[in-house]
Chains A and B, each alone.
Chain A
Amino acid sequence: MERALTVDQRWDLVDRIAKETVEVGAYKPTLKDALAGITVNPWTGIPFAIAVLYGFWTFFGEFAGLFTDGFFVRIFGTHWIPFLGEKLAGLPDWAFTILVGDKAVFAEGFVGDPCFAAGGVLTTGLFMPFGIVLWAVLALFFVLAILEDTGYLPRLAVLIDTVMHKIGLHGFAIVPTLISLGCNVPGVTAARTLETRKQRFIMIALLGVFVPCGAQIGMMEELVPGMIGWVFLTLAIGYFVFGWVLNKIWPGESPEILMDVPPYRAPQWSNILRKTWMRTRHFLFVAVPFVLLGCAIVMVLYATGAMDAIASGLEGLLASVFGVPASATPSLMVGFLRKDLAIGLLPIGAMTNYQVFKSVILLSIYFPCLATFALLLRELNWKEILATLGFLVAMVFVFGGVLNLIGMAGGW
Chain B
Amino acid sequence: MNKVLLMGQANVGKSVLFNHLAGAAATVSNYPGTTVDFDKGHMMIEGERVEVVDVPGAFSLDPKDRAEEVAVRMLEEEKGATVVCVIDSSKVERGLYLALELIEKGYPVMIDLNMADVAKDVNIKVDTKRLEDILGVPVVTTVATRGEGLKELVSRMKEAKPVETGKIIEKVEAS
Contacts and interface: CB of A to CB of B under 8 A. Distances in A.
A204 B123 CA distance: 42
A21 B126 contact: yes
B31 A18 contact: no
Contact of A22 (B97, B106, B124): B124
A189 B37 contact: yes
A152 to B, nearest CB: 8
Interface stretch (A54-62, A219-227, A260-268): A260-268
A223 B164 CA distance: 66
B115 to A, nearest CB: 10
B16 to A, nearest CB: 8
A151 interface: yes
A86 interface: no
A293 B72 CA distance: 41
Interface of B: 10-11, 25, 27-34, 36-37, 64-67, 70, 92-93, 96-97, 100-101, 104-106, 118, 121-128, 130-131, 134-135, 145, 164-166, 168-169, 172, 175
Contact of B65 (A5, A30, A194): A194
A197 B65 CA distance: 9
Contact of A189 (B36, B64, B97): B36
A5 B101 CA distance: 9
A15 B172 CA distance: 10
A275 B31 contact: no
Contacts of A10: 97, 100-101, 104
A1 to B, nearest CB: 9
Nearest to B93: A18
B65 A17 contact: no
Contact of B67 (A13, A193, A267): A193
A149 B16 CA distance: 12
B34 A148 contact: yes
A23 B25 CA distance: 35
Contacts of A149: 28-30
Interface in A238-276: 260, 262-263, 265, 267-268, 271, 274-275
Which 9 residue pairs of A and B lie closest in terms of their CB atoms, listed nearest first?
A25-B123, A148-B29, A193-B33, A151-B30, A192-B66, A192-B36, A23-B125, A21-B131, A14-B96
A24 interface: yes
Interface in A18-72: 18, 20-27, 30
A361 interface: no
B32 A262 contact: yes
Contacts of A383: none
A192 B66 CA distance: 5
Contact of A260 (B10, B97, B105): B10
B123 A26 contact: yes
B131 A151 contact: no
Contact of B164 (A2, A15, A175, A260): A2
Contacts of B30: 148-151, 153, 262, 265, 267
28 contacts: A2-B105, A2-B164, A3-B104, A3-B166, A5-B165, A11-B97, A14-B97, A18-B92, A18-B96, A20-B172, A20-B175, A21-B131, A21-B134, A23-B127, A148-B30, A151-B30, A151-B31, A175-B33, A190-B33, A192-B33, A192-B37, A192-B65, A193-B65, A193-B66, A194-B66, A195-B64, A260-B10, A275-B27
Contact of B130 (A21, A151, A263): A21
Contacts of A17: 96, 131, 134-135, 168, 172
A194 B122 CA distance: 30
Contacts of A16: 172
- For A10, A194, A265, the residue with the greatest tally of chain B CB atoms inside 10 Å of its CB is A10
Nearest to B117: A265
Interface string A148-181: 1111011000000000000000001001000000
Given A21-B92, A22-B126, A262-B11, A192 B67 contact: yes
A116 to B, nearest CB: 34
A173 to B, nearest CB: 12
Contacts of B96: 14, 17-18
Contacts of A27: 122-123
A278 interface: yes
A120 to B, nearest CB: 35
Interface in A183-227: 189-190, 192-195, 200
B125 to A, nearest CB: 4
Contact of A20 (B64, B104, B122, B127): B127
A260 B58 CA distance: 13
Contacts of A20: 127, 130-131, 134, 172, 175
B114 to A, nearest CB: 13
A263 B28 contact: no
Contacts of B105: 2
B36 A5 contact: no
A169 to B, nearest CB: 13
Given A2-B106, A200-B66, A22 B33 contact: no
A4 B105 CA distance: 8
A189 B65 CA distance: 13
Interface string A272-309: 00110010000000000000000000000000000000
Given A10-B97, A151-B30, 12 more contacts: A2-B104, A5-B100, A13-B168, A14-B97, A20-B130, A20-B175, A22-B93, A22-B125, A24-B123, A149-B30, A260-B11, A262-B31
